[in-house]
Chains A and B, each alone.
Chain A
Amino acid sequence: MARTLSLRMRIGLAIVLAMLVVLGGRLFHVQGLDPAGHAQEAISNRLHTVELPAARGNILDSQNRLMASSADRYDIVADPRMTGDYTVSDEALGMRRPVTVEETAQELAVILERDYHEVLQALTAEDTHYSVVARSVTPEAYQQVAALRAPGIYAEPVSERTYPAGSVAGSVVGFMGSDGPLEGIELVQNEALTGEPGERIYEVGADGVRIPTATYEEIPAQDGQDVRLTIDQDLQWFAQEAIAAKANEYNAQWGNATVVDLREGNEGKILAMADSETVDPADPGATDELFRRPLALTQSFEPGSTGKAVTFAAALEEGLISGDDPFSVPYRLTVNGETFRNARSHDQYQMTAAGIFARSYNTGTIMIGNKMDEQTRYDYLRRVGYDQPIDIGLGIDGQSYVRPPEEWDRRQPMTTQFGQGYEGTVMHNVQLYQMLANGGVRHPLRIVDATVEPDGTEHPVVAEPEQVFSPDTSEEMLKLMEGVVEYGSAQGAAIEGYRVGGKTGTAEAASRSGGFDGYTVNFVGVAPLDDPQFLVSVTVHRPAGEFGDWDLTDTFQDIMTHTLTSYDVPPSDAESEAYDGFVGERQDYPW
């Protein structure tokens, strides 16, 4: 009896143990090994991963005023498999009333300001579960859509760029396309502006609410950096108005006004780069393609007489002339069988080098330029930046071409001395006068001041200055430029209380079919000459009318006066240091 009992017990025990092992094994199989992936599936059903988009950095002007920012918008999308007729509880009726898909489309069309048929088409499209009803709608519109409680209508959050300044500096700021940045700072600084998106992982219950005690991970997004420009928004607007008025007055193809800072520590910063017409980044398609990129970089032209500054500065630097050296200047000059004339006929004048510069006489310039050989003059053109691309931080290379002396035709050895026979952009001209005004030191022009991290750390853009001319040459050139405004070709540029200097230029514009049609007129000026603070360049391309009809000095004067006033540069009663234009007592020879 005891024997059988113990045997039974043993068997029973063994069976119980065996079953325990089986159950334990199964438990381990299901829970521990999870070959069918049920546990994993359950977790991944609960797990939600939400991308935390990184905010795109702002674009600011030099005074931290907003030029481009981002705002939350929603794409309204429909899943046509889910849309259809539905019922909605009507409080007025106190019961549920049916709503047809046509009525939904009608209501959506009103809220989203879209065409009814297009909306209906999107809601009832076949063979798709994703059709876009409207893009980039405001949060207010999204809330109205959500209030309809229509099935199968969803909203996807997107970020949209806003440009509060509109077309002020629009071509500098650039714009975005549907797939990313297309132009300007938006494109070239895309890497800095774009941040690193983060991620939030959490578990949700069946009701869609997060399970408080379960997994929760958050990798925060790294917001993009802000980009601060050197542009002064107010000045940019003023310059845009001024140049638009000028281009309009002369019915020109385009015009550009550029303001550059020459103040110590800020040399080379572009404060304004205004085109006669500018793209609004919010609607780039509305503007002619020519005006979607900054003209000061995209348009090359012959600088004309503003290019005489290279010849004069080179001759001064080589010690071949001084400002008051006398020259006997004819109206017509023949060199190597090629005849050159001045703009208007005149008697043979006994002039100083300063007088030649002030009256912009081609013949006199040739007499000075020919003191140097062709290679020297070519080298100086290259040293000041012509024949080389110029990039101011916009990712656009401003092009300039100068043929080497061995490829020059019969006239080019002389025409290159007065700014013809080669071409450059507004930026090339501006860079030349910047170095002449800043003690002969080239401070590369730039438009990006700094990138600013979200925590406020700044990464300033630094530019290496380079001594091109001696300070003496620079000082002499300023005196020559003062003569241009005092008694030369740009007397309208004078500003009361300030010493102003500059140089006019007019060159024939090369036509596409070869030869020339129309002119490019420009003026570059600096003030105040006792300590140059600002440079203003005005360029107008293909103005209507005849040679000699055009005067840009009033536009220059407007912009320069505004700049000096808004930057608190006080007037001074400093004496003019310009040289006499003519040899002897008499100075008022006819033009």
Chain B
Amino acid sequence: MSVLPMEELRAAGRADGQRAQGRQAQDRPSLEALPKVRRRQRGMLASVLLLLLTALGAVLAVNIHVANSQYQVVQLTNQHRDLVHQNQALAQQVQFLESPQSLSNSAVAVGMVMPATAGTFDLSSAEIVSSAEAASSSEVPSNFVGAPGYSQPETAAADVSQQASGAPSGLLGAGALHTLRQAPAGENGSGGGEESASRPGSALHGGTIPAPDVTD
């Protein structure tokens, strides 16, 4: 059903002569041929559709990817937090070991004593201002100030040494930890012979190679 403007209908009602003409016009709806879809345009349409589909697909893919990355972000954030905590625990351990009392205790453990007077030279006059004194082996620092309360469980310490095994040895890595935890077997050398001999349990007498057994 086509809709005609009202004016036309009214006009059709008024004049009979015109009616036939009008009816004729109503009977014959104005037809018009659709423009031919040419091949080129068909290809164009297909490519537009394809483009749309591709865009849709791309948007979908990006969306899925972003959503998935979000899980990854959460995972990485947790990993980051864990590492931060681990780092914190290690830093704390270092800080406690660095405290003066702990250093003093470690020093005593490896057989160190309080220093005596240091010698001084006046470089401008090339004179000895004061002469050095040998430190006395009995001058062990006193131990009135308690070591800081270390809240970390023992397991944390074990974890550390395991992880530090891959780290550089010596003073920078696992070696440093080892040095702090255990007294080396008399690396004070020959000079400390008397002193280390006086220490109980030292069978090495200041050296690193055990003496031959002469029990028989």
Contact = CB atoms under 8 A, between A and B. Distances in A.
Interface of A: 2, 6, 65-66, 69, 71-72, 138-141, 143, 162-168, 209-210, 212-213, 233-234, 236-238, 240-241, 244-245, 248, 278, 280, 282-283, 496-497, 561, 565, 570-573
Interface in B158-182: none
A287 to B, nearest CB: 10
Interface of B: 6, 9, 66-67, 69-71, 73-74, 82, 84-85, 88-89, 92, 95-96, 98-101, 104, 117-118, 120, 122, 129-130, 141-149, 151-153, 155-156
A69 B120 CA distance: 39
Query: Which residue among B6, B84, B85, B143 has the maximum number of chain A CB atoms within 10 Å of its CB?
Result: B85
A1 to B, nearest CB: 10
A472 to B, nearest CB: 30
B151 to A, nearest CB: 7
Nearest to B100: A237
Contacts of B74: 209-210
A157 to B, nearest CB: 10
Given A209-B74, A210-B70, A237-B145, A140 B130 contact: no
Contact of B148 (A167, A565, A573): A167
A212 B66 contact: yes
B118 A166 contact: no
B142 A72 contact: no
A87 B10 CA distance: 85
Contacts of A69: 92, 95
A248 to B, nearest CB: 7
Contacts of B153: 138, 140-141
Contacts of B85: 72, 139-140
Nearest to A570: B120
B100 A165 contact: yes
Contacts of B151: 138, 162, 282
A550 to B, nearest CB: 19
25 contacts: A2-B9, A6-B6, A69-B92, A72-B84, A138-B152, A164-B96, A164-B98, A166-B146, A166-B147, A166-B149, A167-B148, A168-B145, A209-B70, A212-B69, A212-B70, A233-B99, A237-B99, A238-B100, A240-B144, A244-B145, A496-B130, A497-B129, A570-B120, A571-B120, A572-B129
A71 B92 CA distance: 9
Contact of B142 (A66, A162, A213, A244): A244
A65 to B, nearest CB: 7
